[in-house]
A and B are shown apart, each in its own frame.
Chain A
């Protein structure tokens, strides 16, 4: 057992890692410790043990801290880096695809818009004929004037501008057209026939292409030259005489 008074100094001296002789000479505290060692064998032994302990600790730390690096580490890391980058691309490509698709769809929408609106108009214009009018199940007399009236209203809307809808036509405050009873009846029959043949109705309902008024170009008449032929006098005279005799 080391002497209690020198225990800490002994440990510090050993922990310093320096050569014991040099360490003990370096300052007054160490000089006192060296002087004590000359008279105390147990402290000398304890100091040697402490030194051996620190040497062991340092050697063990060196072995732990400088362990050989496995050769597989860097290839593993490089392979993992490749895997890290691959999912990034997988994640990005749907995003790019989606963005491009949206942009493309928007572009197509913009291009196709006028055509679609025409077909929309047709779709909007068709219901006023078919919806309010049910196919006539009975005779002519069963067609009520109200249905004829609604048909006439919807027929008016067929020629109305694009934006017209069924609701709008129902709520329209346009003045109604007064139709004589026989014309109303004929129109009802016509509407019933339209309802039976929807394709025919669509053909009628379809907008006619607008034609702008243009100047009529009248081409000059081409008259061929007149041929003058001499009269055959003998044959004519004999035939005249024969006619006189009769």
Chain B
């Protein structure tokens, strides 16, 4: 009994040492991925939230959550896809919680009357069209929205998006096509109004 009491603290110290070593290793590994995938988390959040400050908060939260659960991720090559899903879910949650406020802000910050843009490119970069586009993007089904955002991000091929989302390349293409078509239907009236003015 006495021997057991004397051995137990030593065993715990050893376990603690091993745990700390594992944590340090996980931290090092996570740091490597942080620089690579931090921007991705931010952009996914930014695409959903359409707000830089909120997107930064959500990206930070997503990265922290990923770090806390990093040891549960068996296949570390799936980190990118995993982080994208975490960031996307968190951004959606944030969006839902602040939907009412954001709608009000959007309504106030984008008045109805504004000079029309001359060309399609000018139209795209104009705040009014961008606001309509963001709004239409927010109304898309989640699975279409994520694929469309990843497709619009630089450096993502169809195969990479398929790997991140966990569907086939054909499904990715199909979703992108339907997503763009739905956006066009929502934005057509705004484009015509601006053009004909």
- Given A57-B133, A57-B183, A66:B43 Cβ within 8 A: yes
Is B81 part of the binding interface, using a Cβ–Cβ cutoff of 8 Å? no
- Contacting residues of chain B (1-42) with chain A, CB-CB under 8 angstroms: 2, 5-6, 8-9, 12-13, 16, 23, 27, 30, 34-35, 38-39, 42
CB-based contact A56/B123 at 8 Å: yes
A70 at the interface (CB under 8 A from B): yes
Shortest CB–CB separation between residue B145 and chain A, in angstroms? 10
Contact of A110 among B2, B34, B46, B50 (CB under 8 A): B2
B42 touches A70 (CB 8 A): yes
What's the nearest-Cβ distance from chain B to residue A50, in Å? Answer: 7
Task: Specify which chain A residues have a CB less than 8 angstroms from the CB of B133 in the assembled complex.
Answer: 56-57, 60-61, 64
Which A residue sits closest to B131, measured CB to CB?
A60
| CB-based contact A15/B52 at 8 Å | no
B88 an interface residue at 8 Å Cβ cutoff?
A: no
Q: Which of these binds chain B: A95-103, A129-137, A150-158?
A: A95-103
Closest CB in chain B relative to A203 CB, distance in Å: 35
Q: Which of chain B's residues have a CB closer than 8 A to the CB of A92?
A: 16
Q: Which residue of B lies closest to A16 (CB)?
A: B177
Number of A residues whose C-beta is below 8 Å from B? 41
Whether, in the assembled complex, A22 has its beta carbon less than 8 Å from a beta carbon of chain B, the answer is no
A73 CB → nearest B CB, Å: 6
Closest to B59 in A: A73
B144 at the A/B interface (Cβ < 8 Å)? no
> In the complex where A49-B191, A100-B9 touch, is A57 in contact with B125 (Cβ < 8 A)?
no
Interchain nearest-CB distance for A31 vs B (Å): 21
105-149 of chain B: CB within 8 A of chain A: 120-121, 123-125, 129-130, 133-134, 137, 148-149
If A69-B42, A80-B64 touch, whether A15 touches B184 (CB-CB below 8 Å) is yes
Assess A74 versus B16: contact at CB under 8 Å? Given A49-B195, A52-B120.
no
Determine whether the beta carbon of A61 is less than 8 Å from that of B149. yes
Give chain A interface residues in 38-76, CB to chain B under 8 Å: 49-50, 52-67, 69-70, 72-74, 76
Contact of A103 among B9, B27, B59 (CB under 8 A): B9
Secondary structure call for the B interface: helix
CB-based contact B121/A77 at 8 Å: no
The reply to whether B124 and A15 form a contact with Cβ atoms under 8 Å apart is no
Contact residues in B for A59 (Cβ distance below 8 Å): 120-121, 124-125
**CA–CA, A103 to B6, complex, Å?**
7
The residues of A that contact B34 with a CB separation of less than 8 Å are: 74, 77-78
Contacts of A100 in B (CB 8 A): 9
On whether A73 and B60 interact (CB within 8 A), knowing A64-B50, A64-B149, the answer reads yes
Bound form: Cα–Cα A110–B5 in Å: 10
B154 x A66 contact (CB < 8 A) = yes
List the B side residues contacting A58 at CB < 8 Å: 124, 152, 180
Verify if B55 is at the interface (C-beta below 8 Å from A). Answer: yes
Per the bound structure, the CA–CA distance linking A70 and B53 in Å amounts to 9
- Where the two chains meet, the residues of A that have a C-beta atom closer than 8 Å to any C-beta of B are 11, 14-15, 49-50, 52-67, 69-70, 72-74, 76-78, 80-81, 84-85, 92, 96, 99-100, 103, 106-107, 110
Q: Which 10 A-B pairs have the closest CB atoms?
A: A59-B124, A65-B152, A52-B120, A61-B152, A56-B124, A60-B133, A69-B39, A65-B153, A67-B46, A55-B120
User: What would 10 more interface pairs be, CB under 8 Å, given A99-B9, A103-B8?
Assistant: A53-B187, A54-B180, A64-B50, A65-B152, A67-B47, A69-B42, A70-B42, A76-B56, A84-B64, A103-B5
